[in-house]
Amino acid sequence: MAKKIKIGAVISGGGTNLQAIIDSCRSGEINGEIVFVGTDNPDAKGLQRAEEDRIPTFVTNYSGIIKKYNNDPEIIAAPDDFIYEDILTKQSFSPEGYNPEKIKKFLVTRAVAEDDLLKQMAPYQFDLIVLAGFMRNLTPYFIDRVNTDPLNPRIMNIHPALLPSFPGVDGYGDTFRYGCKTGGCTVHFIDYGEDSGPIIGQKSFQIEPEDTIDTIKKKGLELEWQLYPECVRLFAEGRLKTEKKTFTLDNGKTFERVFVTVV
């Protein structure tokens, strides 16, 4: 039998997706085990789920770091190997014209937090990191230190919308308020943008006239608990192939995109 993969999880809240992955590892559907659960939120309910399963946990204090920076930016030292220009050029969170001070604050405080995440993860070997309701954007500082081979991405995320529609923090809410007739969820590898990385899988549901934001969330979450373990299983089976494809548009311009194919 193939070797069990080691999975690190990062969460911010209830951890129901984490639970679905824990259960699928336990049942053998995923040939893997969760080796740590990290969070930015010491009160995350999902921490209890991890502890019940004797999975080691840790907290990275994002809000403490941001508060310190707000009080005095000079006392926050970026990690020694942080190269501001490099991270600024790679990331695509900030639209052009965005306030440079805000971008600097965002990238420096996140790098400090990500350095702490990396240090707390360092004792564990892992093949994959699953972001399971983690409500912070990870910057190129973190991504490059985990994805050492760009064609072998190792950080997966679940998003509560049919990407590329409705990236951001409230996917189901945005879907509902737009008046969509179909909603859904997406699992993707992360890249340097917000919810923009190569898509691994999606599931959709119908939105009926009587649906409310709560019923939509319920429908969506139930699909998430199926989709996320399925995608992790495919990763564990070595069945996710990543390749760069180049497309030529009608106007002659070309663009490249990383694609995930299930083999």
Shortest Cβ 203–ligand GAR spacing (Å): 12
User: What x/- string results for residues 78 through 117 when contact with ligand GAR is judged by CB under 6 A?
Assistant: ----------------------------------------
Confirm if 43 and 17 have CB atoms less than 8 A apart. no
Is 219 near ligand GAR (CB under 6 A)?
A: no
Nearest one of 58, 63, 110 to 84, comparing CA atoms: 110
Is 193 near ligand GAR (CB under 6 A)?
A: no
Confirm if 204 and 162 have CB atoms less than 8 A apart. yes
Confirm if 34 and 22 have CB atoms less than 8 A apart. yes
Please choose, out of 35-43, 51-59, 103-111, 152-160, the segment that lies near ligand GAR by the rule CB under 6 A.
152-160
Among 49, 110, 159, 188, binds ligand GAR (CB under 6 A): 159
Shortest Cβ 231–ligand GAR spacing (Å): 13
Q: Where are the beta strands (DSSP E) in the chain?
A: 5-11, 32-39, 57-59, 128-131, 155-159, 182-189, 199-206, 240-248, 254-262
Q: Where do we find the tokens 């311009």?
A: 253
Rounded distance between C-alpha atoms, residue 86 and residue 198, angstroms: 22
Confirm if 207 and 176 have CB atoms less than 8 A apart. yes
Confirm if 187 and 133 have CB atoms less than 8 A apart. no
Is 17 near ligand GAR (CB under 6 A)?
A: yes
Is 173 near ligand GAR (CB under 6 A)?
A: no
Is 15 near ligand GAR (CB under 6 A)?
A: yes
Is 14 near ligand GAR (CB under 6 A)?
A: yes
Shortest Cβ 252–ligand GAR spacing (Å): 36
Among candidate residues 136, 154, 159, 203, the one labeled active-site is 159
Tokens of 15: 């951890």
Nearest one of 258, 151, 174, 256 to 220, comparing CA atoms: 174
Is 158 near ligand GAR (CB under 6 A)?
A: yes
Site residues for ligand GAR, 29-68, by CB under 6 A, read 46
Please choose, out of 80-88, 102-110, 157-165, 200-208, the segment that lies near ligand GAR by the rule CB under 6 A.
157-165
Confirm whether 188 is a catalytic residue.
no
Shortest Cβ 194–ligand GAR spacing (Å): 9
Confirm if 90 and 81 have CB atoms less than 8 A apart. no
Active site (catalytic) residues: 159
Query: Interface with ligand GAR by CB under 6 A: which residues?
Result: 11, 13-17, 46, 132-133, 135, 158-160, 169, 171, 221, 224
